[in-house]
Structure 1
Amino acid sequence: MNAQTPASRTAPGRRTALIVAGAAVIALVVAIGWIIWRPAGAAAPAANGSAAPPTVQNERVDAIVRDAMKADSLKAVIVRVTVDGKVVAMQAYGDSMTGVPATTDMHFRNGAVAFEYVSTLLLEYVDEGKIALDDTVDKWMPSLPEANKVTLRMLTNQTTGYPDFETDPGWTAAYNADPFHEFTFEERLKDAFNRPLQFEPGTNWSYAHTNFMILGHILSMIGGAPLDQLLQKKVLGPMGLTQTAGYTTATVPEPVLHAYSSERRVALGIPPTMPFTEESTFWNPAWGTPIGAAETTTITDMATTAVAVGTGKLLSSKSFHEMTDSKLIGFGTPLPACAGSCFTQVNGYNYGLGVVRSGSWQLQNPLLSGYSATEPYLPSKKMAVAVATTFLPGAFDANGIYDNSSDRLFRQIATELAPDDPPPPLPPKKN
């Protein structure tokens, strides 16, 4: 569910991936009839059968998407591109389910895009004078390891040294055995701290879902309300997101972009020679994001998010730069304790506060449970690109590993439409 670097691929044993310099790290049946809960004030999802937003065709984007669908074995692609608020491309391709075409109003999981909302909420509290980024977490959770050293800033820029609960073997086995299970905050904490810290707080960089899980919990304490309600009131609503909301179940509002995955192949003992794909649409996503930040969205809201975050719509100038400036380039060292998730930050991938920087582009690009989505923004061109994809069986290798195709597709589109300031290219695809 985390942000993916250009060559990220998912694999058994980890639900998300994080790659440096093209080296792949591991990431990540249908549930029906669950009652959904929507935060007070959240906009109702589009009514089933309502008209999708109008298609806006762009020949250059269209050609890129159609080529990518063949090359990357994509089942569906939804794309939206805006420049200075004007839609220059908006189209859906392929099928959600067999015989059910994908449409531009379909809902899908947004994974780590929620980290941008959580970080925005944090910085709003900073702007209001309620907290400071360098406040230590012992003020709220004194029992955490090194709580008097770990700061809110460290939680948000991934420098705490806290282990990622998602890499705990027990957690991985439990998820693969039951992807519908809802992991509680306490369960995640236990799995995170079964192991010692990876490094002293503030001395290295390592991606860990644990950090944002804890940050979301602290923000709910600061705001005096559940995180989903705070996000709706102070972030999602003010950003103008009408089709993005958090849920307490694995529901996806209609109309649904369905997802399919082979990533449990190894865990289930299915031989590489045997065809295997399962629907993953309704796997419970409430594991990689803070409690209350497991969300669904649409391609329009994704593009709106890219603009709102990329322009600092809700933040002071100081907080906006704290969130989006490339401050960690050159920081970080690979260590055995955090192999695969700790590395030196570079221009092609460096982390702000819940935001990934890739060249001049600001983005999040989650990959989880058969969904891939990327929403970047280029300030100099006022350009937002939102891409969501699902996968055909051919996208998965013999171990169930698959690439973040939406990230690659965004880079192709961005290079075509902004050739004077393209994002860094992806490393060659590995066979």
Structure 2
Amino acid sequence: MPLRSVPTRRSALRSRLRAGCVVAVCLTALGQTATSTAAAPVPRDGDLQEQLEQLVRAPGGPPGVIAVLRRGGDTRVLRAGVADLATGRRPSVHDHMRIASTAKAFSGAVALSLVDRHALRLDETLGQRLPQLPTAWHRVTLRQLLNHTSGLPDYSMSSAFRDIISADPHHHFDSRRLLDFVADQPLNFPPGSQYRYSNSDNIAVALMAEAATGTPYEQLLRTLVYRPLGLRATSLPQGYRMPEPYLHGYDTTPPPPEDVSEVIGASGSWASGGIISTPADMTRFVSGYVGGALYGRNLVREQRRWIPGASEPAGPGENMAGLALFRYATRCGVVLGHTGNTLGYTQLIAATPDGRRSLTFSVTTQINASQNPDLLSRLRAVQENFVCALLSRSGH
């Protein structure tokens, strides 16, 4: 598939950037309908492979997709398409990729680990830890930030932020000042009164973690998450360069695809979506995170106090929200995890509640309800079939 040069599509791409659809998520209506719960046979490996091939061939579909299913010591990798249209190289579990809003699960892992160590409390407020933030925000608690009931206005939707991204996608933001873009705004609603997904929430979580420990968030990630779970290829950069090798991300609408892997930097999403990882590392992460490897059972129970709310984009089946974690109830059973989408990438990580079985599902274009709802419906159906294969007794 030929690649169109960047200059010929710059105007359309800038419109996408100005629309605020690149910093971790494109915000859309959260009342997503569930995929079908009607009885259906569990798909076998050949069926799953064909579904990936069909996803790649679909109008606006991703040039590449890779899925990792792990059941105890058994790991299966299915892939379709290519990691790089220029070379034709196939996707690998060791390819780096932008993980988009699945990075919010990492901020949850840091925060809950600090709660477990009594450095933070779930009922601690922004006013107590970050008194420099607007007084109107001071009553918001860590729990409300983690389950998106804070009411914080989303900095990534501010016109000033979007204008900067549009003018200079490589702009280096001060990640710790991202909330300044909405510091003149009141809360969208009283804290705890409703659910609304916001990128500001996880920026505030990271700032609370830094304030509680006096340690940079990047170091907290290394100490509390990467090292305990054995993540060797995961990082939170500031720039726009991708480490080699990497899954190239593409803008596929309109065709032909344009490589947008390095169009934007990570400083503008930071704790809400800036992490770079690999399918192999994300598989290790979701198994340990969901399985409770990082903190005690009392916090696992707190994390799983479900409320109405969907991840963005919606995951397979019916969605419910917890603390930096979502519950996906499919026709075959329940998995817990997180999704994300950003320019060039869409992600799903999920695991059984005990963490023993997991799914990492990565595609190399941005898919969400606002830009391509039909493709999102197709993606969710395929993801649900992969969940069914993961949960089946036979493993097929």
TM, length-normalised to structure 1: 0.73
Match of 1:284 among 252, 265, 268: 265
In 1, distance between residues paired with 2:163 and 2:251?
17
Establish whether residue 352 from structure 1 lines up as the match of residue 316 from structure 2. Answer: no
Shift of 1:186: 5.9
SS at match of 1:248: coil
Do the aligned partners of 1:182 and 1:287 also contact (CA within 8 Å) in 2? yes
Aligned to 1:415: 388
CA RMSD in angstroms comes to: 3.2
Shift of 1:255: 0.5
Match of 1:226 among 199, 216, 226: 216
Aligned to 2:340: 366
State the Cα deviation string for residues 357-408 of structure 1 (Å, max 9, x = none). 212221111110111111111237932111111149xx899x9657557655
Aligned to 1:131: 120
Do the aligned partners of 1:365 and 1:375 also contact (CA within 8 Å) in 2? yes
Aligned to 2:357: 383
In 2, distance between residues paired with 1:108 and 1:84?
25
Do the aligned partners of 1:157 and 1:353 also contact (CA within 8 Å) in 2? yes
Alignment map for 1:42-121 (pairs within 5 Å) = 58-71=45-58, 73-91=61-79, 93-104=81-92, 105-121=94-110
> What is the identity, as a one-letter code, of the residue corresponding to 2:220?
L
In 2, distance between residues paired with 1:373 and 1:185?
23
SS at match of 2:364: strand
Match of 2:287 among 307, 310, 321: 307
Quick one: structure 1 residues 381 and 227, their matched pair in 2 at CA, closer, same or farther if it must change by over 3 Å? closer
State the Cα deviation string for residues 139-189 of structure 1 (Å, max 9, x = none). 221132334411111111111111001111222222222221122246522
In 2, distance between residues paired with 1:173 and 1:148?
28
Aligned to 2:275: 295
State the Cα deviation string for residues 256-309 of structure 1 (Å, max 9, x = none). 11112267xxxxxxxx8xx67542111213223328x72211111111112111
In 2, distance between residues paired with 1:92 and 1:278?
18
In 1, distance between residues paired with 2:320 and 2:62?
28
Alignment map for 1:120-199 (pairs within 5 Å) = 120-145=109-134, 146-185=136-175, 187-199=177-189
Aligned to 1:13: 19
Do the aligned partners of 1:162 and 1:198 also contact (CA within 8 Å) in 2? yes
In 2, distance between residues paired with 1:302 and 1:381?
13
In 2, distance between residues paired with 1:390 and 1:209?
22
Shift of 1:63: 2.2
Aligned to 1:206: 196
In 2, distance between residues paired with 1:401 and 1:62?
23
Alignment map for 1:325-344 (pairs within 5 Å) = 325-329=304-308
In 1, distance between residues paired with 2:84 and 2:56?
14
In 2, distance between residues paired with 1:408 and 1:306?
21
Do the aligned partners of 1:13 and 1:173 also contact (CA within 8 Å) in 2? no
> What is the identity, as a one-letter code, of the residue corresponding to 2:66?
I
Aligned to 1:36: none
In 1, distance between residues paired with 2:76 and 2:175?
42
In 2, distance between residues paired with 1:121 and 1:207?
19
Aligned to 2:243: 253
Aligned to 1:320: 300
In 2, distance between residues paired with 1:14 and 1:148?
26
In 1, distance between residues paired with 2:270 and 2:154?
12
Runs of at least 5 residues in structure 2 that lack an aligned partner in the other structure: 1-15, 34-43
SS at match of 1:365: strand
Structure showing the higher helix proportion among its residues: 2
Quick one: structure 1 residues 70 and 391, their matched pair in 2 at CA, closer, same or farther if it must change by over 3 Å? same
Do the aligned partners of 1:362 and 1:377 also contact (CA within 8 Å) in 2? yes
Do the aligned partners of 2:234 and 2:278 also contact (CA within 8 Å) in 1? yes
> What is the identity, as a one-letter code, of the residue corresponding to 1:168?
S
SS at match of 2:100: coil
State the Cα deviation string for residues 82-138 of structure 1 (Å, max 9, x = none). 112311334453242223313312110112222112111111111112221101122
